[in-house]
């Protein structure tokens, strides 16, 4: 799972929520930050923060609730 963003407060909040979701879901997943703007643009993301699960952008321009992220991890799908 990757959190895309340049380090703004919302980006940090999403990173924390993603870590909490991994723990709550009981899955083995690594949460990493992508702060390089060129790498972020490769995902087609135009609004930060964004959340990438299994290589797909699942949320963009907002911070999903921990429960939403847990559902994305368990179902492998989510809304942008």
Catalytic residue among 3, 4, 11, 69: 11
Report the Cα 48 to chain-centroid distance in Å: 10
Q: Where does 1-80 have alpha helices with state H?
A: 9-25, 37-42, 66-75
Q: Could you tell me the CA-to-CA distances from 39 to 19, 28, 79 in Å, in that order? A: 21, 24, 21
Catalytic residue among 6, 7, 8, 27: 8
Residue 47: CB atoms within 10 Å: 11
Residue 28's pLDDT is 86
**Domains delineated in the chain:** 2-75 (3.40.30.10)
Catalytic site includes residue 8: yes
Q: Say if CB 49 and CB 11 are below 8 A apart.
A: yes
The per-residue pLDDT for range 2-59, each reduced to its tens digit, is 999 998 999 999 999 999 999 999 888 899 999 999 999 999 999 999 999 989 999 9
Residue 77's pLDDT is 42
Catalytic site includes residue 31: no
């Amino acid at each position: 799972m990757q959190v895309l963003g340049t380090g703004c407060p919302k980006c940090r909040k999403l990173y924390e929520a993603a870590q909490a979701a991994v723990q709550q879901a009981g899955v083995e997943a690594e949460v990493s930050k992508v702060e390089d703007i060129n790498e972020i643009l490769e995902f087609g993301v135009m609004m930060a923060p964004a959340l990438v699960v299994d290589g797909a952008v699942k949320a963009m321009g907002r911070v999903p609730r921990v429960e939403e992220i847990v559902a994305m991890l368990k179902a492998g799908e989510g809304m942008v």
